[in-house]
Amino acid sequence: MSDQQTALNQPMLNWVRSLPMRWAFGGFILGIVWVAASILLRGGFSNPVGGLVAVVRIFVMFVLPLIFLGLVWGYTERLYIERSAEKSREQFDKAIQQSVWRQVGKAIVCGLAFRIYIHWLGYGPNGPKYAPWDTPENIIANTYSVFGFVLLAVPVGLAVGIVFRRSLSRRLTI
């Protein structure tokens, strides 16, 4: 811990340790936006299809997994930052500089995991199963179905990475 204290001052150490909960909250916000957009696209808030039970079901099926992904994302980042701070100040500075691309990679993995989860639930464009992989059109549709989520995850990862690096850099000067 004493080596870690040299790279991380106490406010930064507290901030790094709170990453999992803050990113779980980010998953909650992303899930709420997801649910709100889904409800708007399916008829609006005044009379959601299935009523309140359907809204709760959607919340459980989509928001809770996004909270879980945010929690895992935060824990992995916390471990990485703490380990790099324990090694040396140079490793810690390198971890800060690479943080944007690391967050993009994590966003891609989380986007892919969420897409597989949604497919498992049966909420894909082709229903619970992918189209047969027998024609070029089906192959393209299946590929777009999976990698569309990955492409949507890139801007999320960039935004998270830029804000994260900025926040981490500010904590260095406190």
- Average the pLDDT over 116-129 and give the result: 67
pLDDT in the model for residue 68: 94
Intra-chain end-to-end CA distance of the chain, in Å: 19
What does the alpha-carbon distance between residue 48 and residue 53 come to, in Å, rounded to a whole number?
10
Summarised one tens digit per residue, pLDDT across range 18-56 is 999 999 999 999 888 877 887 777 666 565 556 677 777
Summarised one tens digit per residue, pLDDT across range 70-119 is 999 999 999 999 898 888 888 888 988 898 999 999 999 988 888 878 77
Can you say whether the dihedral through the CA atoms of 125, 157, 54, 47 is positive or negative?
negative
Sequence ranges of the domains in the chain:
2-173
pLDDT band of residue 4 (cuts 50, 70, 90) is very low
pLDDT in the model for residue 134: 83
Chain-centroid distance, C-alpha 146:
16
Model's pTM, two decimal places? 0.76
